[in-house]
């Protein structure tokens, strides 16, 4: 998995024009077919021709900084240029919290829950994951609606464990509220999970 903050993708030259048009902010460095190529970038030839050289692959080094959504002692969350959410777990018992969130989201995926993130990639070594984007964290939500949302989540078999507005987003594509951040959730069917009380107890035992 690429490091958070940068990504590299390789594209055939036939797709270059459309990609640059779609992401004009991307800085591209063309790789010519060989060092003697007439299409090699220079002061007079910035490399435009190399974009259309048959069979040439381009390495797009995406230098765009991800938008920071959350940066705390427990997690760093950023949104990439493609809209995907990158989360890295930090701090006390980061591995346990990472495993718990992965388990809860996989379970909710098996239940076809439509208003939670879907896991796109995970890295247990880096304690990081990439998920779909559920929208923007809400500025405010009524107590009744908040309660109803987390009760609806439990009908899919998961108790959130941190049922506050900071873990609620609004997805305009779905036209509804969604729930995020499952590191302190519990699967009701099996009892598997991690609560804030569990974490505090483990910290005291250290």
Is 167 within 8 Å of 70 (Cβ atoms)? no
β pairing state of 136-137 and 119-123: unpaired
For the chain, which domains are there? 7-62 (no CATH), 67-205 (1.10.510.10)
How far apart (Å, rounded) are the C-alpha atoms in residues 56 and 50? Answer: 7
- What tens digit of pLDDT does each residue of 115-167 get? 999 999 999 999 999 999 999 999 999 999 999 999 999 999 999 999 999 99
Whether 179 and 114 have beta carbons less than 8 Å apart is answered as no
pLDDT higher for 188 or 10? 188
pLDDT, position 65: 54
147-to-102, 113, 133, 139, 162 alpha-carbon distances in Å? 24, 17, 22, 16, 12
- Burial (Cβ within 10 Å: 0-12, 13-18, ≥19) of residue 110: exposed
* pTM to 2 decimal places: 0.67
Encode pLDDT of 78-98 as tens digits: 999 999 999 999 998 999 999
Q: Which of 41, 17, 44, 22 is nearest to 31 (CA)?
A: 41
pLDDT grade for 66, boundaries at 50, 70 and 90? low
Residues 23-40 have a mean pLDDT of 41
């Amino acid at each position: 998995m690429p490091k958070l903050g940068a990504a590299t993708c390789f594209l055939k030259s036939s797709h270059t024009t459309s990609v640059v048009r779609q992401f004009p902010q991307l800085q591209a460095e063309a790789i010519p077919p060989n060092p003697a190529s007439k299409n090699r970038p220079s002061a007079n030839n910035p490399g435009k021709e190399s974009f259309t050289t048959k069979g040439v692959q381009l390495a797009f080094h995406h230098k765009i900084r991800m938008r920071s959504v959350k940066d705390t002692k427990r997690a760093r969350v950023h949104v990439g240029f493609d809209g995907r959410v990158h989360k890295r777990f930090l701090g006390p018992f980061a591995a346990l919290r990472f495993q718990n969130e992965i388990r809860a989201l996989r379970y909710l995926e098996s239940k076809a829950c439509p208003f939670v993130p879907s896991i796109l990639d995970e890295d247990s070594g880096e304690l990081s994951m990439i998920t779909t984007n559920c929208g923007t964290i809400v500025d405010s939500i009524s107590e009744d609606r908040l309660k109803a949302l987390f009760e609806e989540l439990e009908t899919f078999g998961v108790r959130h464990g941190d049922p506050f507005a900071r873990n609620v987003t609004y997805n305009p594509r779905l036209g509804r509220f969604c729930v995020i951040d499952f590191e302190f959730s519990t699967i009701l069917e099996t009892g598997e999970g991690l609560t804030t009380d569990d974490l505090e107890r483990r910290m005291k035992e250290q």
